[in-house]
């Protein structure tokens, strides 16, 4: 595992069952959600690792690569796959750590069409300044562990938790030394309040489409 620098890990695994299709390929404002996310995070780290579902076929991989390429990223992009099938987000995080990531990595769900680089940068700074295992933002009265920075120190606990059959992200995070970004501070880096908005359902996708009609989200 590489132990210097920063990485971005984008989790594009899972079955998108509630959406009924691969949600991160859906266009938001004419650009696939994955492409919007890659564009937003381009330049905040040394590399971007995009984790696809375990066993993803060439068709899905090709569509994902095309979606990411829309962003024309300057940052090198690597393609990985979940560590095992149907094991939730932790399987993607595990695969990224095992493949080699920076000393600190921003883990982001792939269905965040309005992510902001400013928030990502602030989370990297918070994790470094506090020496915590993770830096997690609060918004809407709850933590958001799938747009958060994790240090290399969190990997051992991840492996141990998964070895014991654990699958829940928040249960793993609860075992870490977490630096929480309070809601007011998160809001300072996300004045529109949409950076942590994700699309799990058709209704949420329609909401994303309505938001992108507002010029501040384009």
**13 in a labelled binding site:** yes
**22 in a labelled binding site:** no
Q: What is the pairing mode between strands 147-151 and 134-139?
A: antiparallel
d(CA 117, CA 15): 27
**11 in a labelled binding site:** yes
d(CA 63, CA 170): 30
Note whether 90 and 158 are within 8 A (CB): yes
For residue 105, list its beta bridge partners: 7, 150
**168 in a labelled binding site:** no
**100 in a labelled binding site:** no
SS3 state at 166:
coil
- Alpha carbon 191 to its chain centroid, in Å, reads 20
* 33-41 helix and 117-130 helix, angle to the nearest 10 degrees: 50
**190 in a labelled binding site:** no
3-state helix, strand, coil in the chain (%, to 5): 40, 20, 40
SS3 state at 134:
strand
Look at phi and psi of residue 136 and say left if phi exceeds 0, alpha if psi is from -120 to 50, else beta: beta
**Residues forming the annotated binding site for GTP?**
11-13, 23, 82, 111
**Residues forming the annotated binding site for Mg(2+)?**
111
**Residues forming the annotated binding site?**
11-13, 23, 82, 111
């Amino acid at each position: 595992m590489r132990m210097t620098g920063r990485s971005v890990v984008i989790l594009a695994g899972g079955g998108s069952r509630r959406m009924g299709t691969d949600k991160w390929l859906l266009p938001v404002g004419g650009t696939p959600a994955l492409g919007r996310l890659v564009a937003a995070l381009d330049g905040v780290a040394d590399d971007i690792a995009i984790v696809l579902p375990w066993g993803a076929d060439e068709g899905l991989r090709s569509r994902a690569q095309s979606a990411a390429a829309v962003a024309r990223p300057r940052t090198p992009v690597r393609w990985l796959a979940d560590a095992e099938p149907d094991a939730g987000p932790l399987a993607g995080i595990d695969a990224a750590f095992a493949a080699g990531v920076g000393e600190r990595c921003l883990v982001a769900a792939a269905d965040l069409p309005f992510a902001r680089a400013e928030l990502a940068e602030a989370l990297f700074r918070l994790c470094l300044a506090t020496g915590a295992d993770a830096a997690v933002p609060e918004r809407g009265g709850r933590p958001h562990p799938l747009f958060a920075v994790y240090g290399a120190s969190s990997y051992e606990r991840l492996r141990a938790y998964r070895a014991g059959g654990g699958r829940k992200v928040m249960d793993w995070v609860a075992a870490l030394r977490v630096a929480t970004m309070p809601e007011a501070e998160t809001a300072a880096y996300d004045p529109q309040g949409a950076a942590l908005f994700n699309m799990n359902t058709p209704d949420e996708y329609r909401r994303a489409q309505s938001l992108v009609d507002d010029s501040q989200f384009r």
